[in-house]
Chain A
Amino acid sequence: MKSAVIVFPGSNCDRDLAVAFEAVTGAKPEMVWHRDTELPDDIDLIGVPGGFSYGDYLRSGAMAARSPVMQAVAKAAERGAYVLGICNGFQVLTESGLLPGALLRNAGGHFICRDVSLTIENAQSAFTNRYDAGETVTFPVAHHDGNYFADPATLDRLEGEGRVALRYAESCNGSARNIAGVLNEAGNVLGMMPHPERVIEAAHGKTDGRRLFEGLVEGLLTRA
């Protein structure tokens, strides 16, 4: 199984995500620089990490979404590779059009850095199959622009198609319908603001995030 983590100038959760991938796959992911134009043909899993890519210039994730490597990520996603975008990675995926909607400045105007309770809305997806539907988990968030926005018709479609993977148990940043994570139509791309990679081992204080990565790997093994 081959995994990769994309690294943009200003990424700062890339190594945490690499540790999480290695913990469940047993192999170090390839760290792929934003200028690279290709990913390995047989890549199974791609992480788009958190951080402040390109200093969040113009809009969060806007410059990263237009970087050369994102064309390769889009191609891999189309082929069926799993793509997980966390925090800034979620912003990059919406800016690149791989996921619908946009992430606006938090409604309260403040940077929010704390643990939040999340409800697993769709426990069937490749990313959430190790959780129970309706289960509450705790992941940390650390973002300024996490306020999910999409027009009402798009929101209705996402809900109807089970593409809202996670929801904040309580209002957090002003997100429409408390949406914390969304899937693409094919279900192989997930973007989420909370950080599962920060809660994968006992030393982190919580391990709620580990099952997300374990479920992904299990899915890949059974698919192969």
Chain B
Amino acid sequence: MKARIFVTLKGGVLDPQGKAIHHALDGLGFAGVNDVRAGKLIELDLADGTSDEDIDAMCRKLLANTVIENYRIEKAD
């Protein structure tokens, strides 16, 4: 069983990496980019039957810092 964890900065948390990417896109001549926010994708290969509670606990305890980040879990078989 696989799970993909998307970790993104909460709204209002400054994202200098996103800003730098935005700036680079502007430099490449791509017009119309209003904003860029960068996040992380963490792919987990899990034993079958791993509970949703366990995956959620992994996110809360380590994968995301919920002071500054949100996370979204996407499960795939």
Contact = CB atoms under 8 A, between A and B. Distances in A.
Given A102-B68, A149-B68, A107 B14 contact: yes
B17 to A, nearest CB: 7
A59 B65 contact: yes
A94 B19 CA distance: 25
Interface in A74-113: 94-95, 100-102, 104-109
Q: Which of A58, A94, A95, A147 counts the most chain B CB atoms within 10 A?
A: A58
Q: Which of B19, B20, B63, B65 counts the most chain A CB atoms within 10 A?
A: B65
A58 B62 contact: yes
A219 interface: no
A107 B14 CA distance: 7
User: Secondary structure at chain A's binding surface: helix, strand, loop or mixed?
Assistant: loop
A174 interface: yes
Interface residues of B, number: 13
A62 B61 CA distance: 10
B65 A102 contact: yes
Contact of A104 (B13, B61, B62): B13
Contact of B62 (A62, A147, A149): A62
Interface string B8-21: 00000111110110
A177 interface: no
B19 A109 contact: yes
B67 interface: yes
A109 B20 contact: yes
Nearest to A66: B62
A35 to B, nearest CB: 17
Contacts of A102: 65, 67-68
Interface size class of A (residues with CB under 8 A): 10 to 19
A177 to B, nearest CB: 14
Contacts of B65: 59, 62, 95, 102
A58 B62 CA distance: 9
Contacts of B13: 104, 149
14 contacts: A58-B62, A62-B62, A95-B65, A100-B67, A101-B67, A102-B68, A104-B14, A105-B16, A105-B17, A107-B14, A109-B17, A149-B14, A149-B67, A150-B67
Given A104-B13, A109-B16, 10 more contacts: A62-B62, A100-B67, A102-B68, A105-B15, A105-B16, A107-B16, A109-B19, A109-B20, A147-B14, A149-B67
Interface of A: 58-59, 62, 66, 94-95, 100-102, 104-109, 147, 149-150, 174
